[in-house]
Structure 1
């Protein structure tokens, strides 16, 4: 049954639009969200509306594309990492975008975790620094664009882990699936990655010790980069107690301040009022292991780390009235 609507006026844009969105590589969640937005928005716009979704990586490249005006809307993850683009921190030091605005945030409860094969006997970062094992570490490329690779290397460096200096190596790929394959095939001794809700983690998780990130490391990453910390629940991985690590949550829907207000309102309305369209694509998966954490809450969708576009804010304000 479709969720009850809030009573916020349904948008109707008489003119026909041509919009460009940026999703992911093509076969993951950001592209699926773009398809949902395109379908529901086009239903409420002029008859010649055209909405295209461009392939993307969903990281720094997506933020730059919308900031530069190459597309009107882009999705990026994790949401908190985008705040650096507002004031020029990290990868945005040479080019930042104070006019970025959010249309909403869709929940994906994710973490960046560090796992080391149990055969190494390493349970903490202190033990890792003491033993200095030569590890083959599966993670994403550290190219200044991929948030996973950037965060993985920053976390290890801040924690005093010198993978190559200890005789190890990085096995670097773009997407998590290649990293999972390295672990499953025995090519990797450790992994630093996200997308922890995917089934592969349960398959190889029984062979891993997951290391809690030390408080001073997490505090430094938040102070310097704006990256928050979060917990992984007890038993989320096989035979693993709760631990704290880097938060890697949520899909941020981005635009610029110059997006017309009625379009921004319409997209926010789609996110909040037609959520059944996207939810039903994930209901075969338990919520805590779903790539989109359902049920979606329209009020929470409007709580974004980047300032809301005024048009989008006009929708969310009606929910809390």
Structure 2
């Protein structure tokens, strides 16, 4: 009996050590959606937690916003932190997953984001294209075609972005969808098209948002739109098979508030991390500069984050301090 008890105790102790090692080995995960603005904030958080709290943090590639939220909500460690929650764009997901009793926490702090349609200033001035309603003129739409004569091309976002669905509605309700091919490609492809158009002196138009490195890289003009009106903004989620018919949007976006979200399991297992995430925030200009360092200067997201943190010790002290 005594031998058996010793064996059981030894087994239990070994199991406890194993479980402890497994728990310790699991890194905190932060979503990397592949575009520079969100990479900038994600890697700042990653490096911050590593350098200041001694945590092991892993960036996880995930390009679909709904998939990121589903992973957060599972609380299984697939994604613990998401640094690019745009409201109102992601409001339906926040309402679904980040309720008071939900499995995702939304940090209170936020910074401002803007959204709209951009073309180059040279194109806008040359062809008198300054308002979103100019796009419903077939001759002006043709400026953005391959040969300057046919249907225009407008980038409305990447597949998986919630704003891309919103832009599909806006293109219809602003009256220009019939004169354009609505393109959904990765942002890197859209940026390459913009760069080629600028170098060739041709027209380019598309969805744009700030903070973004392109505002520092090119002379862009944001087209005029009717001021945001809640009464003119009805968007039904694509989970409804009739979402497009039920949606109606005839005004500009409200300025966005960009938050950090994190899993409740992370808050429970690492309250020190949650406390820091509640303090982390940025300015629109800071994120644009981070994105510029990544997308234009060619730094890796981690290099850009380390350089930014080193240059902003007072900000870091405010995030980490009690």
Larger Rg belongs to: 2
**Deviation for aligned residue 1:178:** 2.8
Q: Which residue of 1 aligns with 2:192?
A: 178
* Among candidates 97, 108, 111, match of residue 107 of structure 1: 111
In structure 1, C-alpha distance between the alignment counterparts of 2:262 and 2:84, rounded to whole Å? 11
Q: Is the 8 A contact 1:271 1:298 kept in 2?
A: no
Structure 1: which 5+ residue stretches go unaligned? 1-14, 89-95, 227-243, 286-291, 302-314
Relative to total residues, which structure has the larger helix share, 1 or 2? 2
Q: Which residue of 2 aligns with 1:268?
A: 275
Distance 1:183 1:66, change over 3 A: farther
In structure 1, C-alpha distance between the alignment counterparts of 2:164 and 2:134, rounded to whole Å? 23
Q: Is the 8 A contact 2:155 2:206 kept in 1?
A: yes
Question: What's the Cα RMSD here?
Answer: 4.6
In structure 2, C-alpha distance between the alignment counterparts of 1:113 and 1:250, rounded to whole Å? 19
Q: TM-score, normalised by structure 1?
A: 0.57
SS of 2:117's partner is: strand
The 5 Å alignment of 1:1-321 reads: 16=24, 18-25=27-34, 28-42=36-50, 49-57=55-63, 59-69=65-75, 70-87=78-95, 98=99, 99=102, 100-115=104-119, 117-118=123-124, 119-129=126-136, 131=138, 133-134=141-142, 135=144, 136-141=152-157, 143=159, 145-162=160-177, 165-166=178-179, 168-175=180-187, 177-184=191-198, 185-186=200-201, 188-195=203-210, 197-199=212-214, 203-205=218-220, 210-215=222-227, 219-221=231-233, 223-224=234-235, 245-247=252-254, 249-261=256-268, 263-269=270-276, 272=279, 282=289
- The number of residue pairs the alignment matches comes to 245
Q: TM-score, normalised by structure 2?
A: 0.57
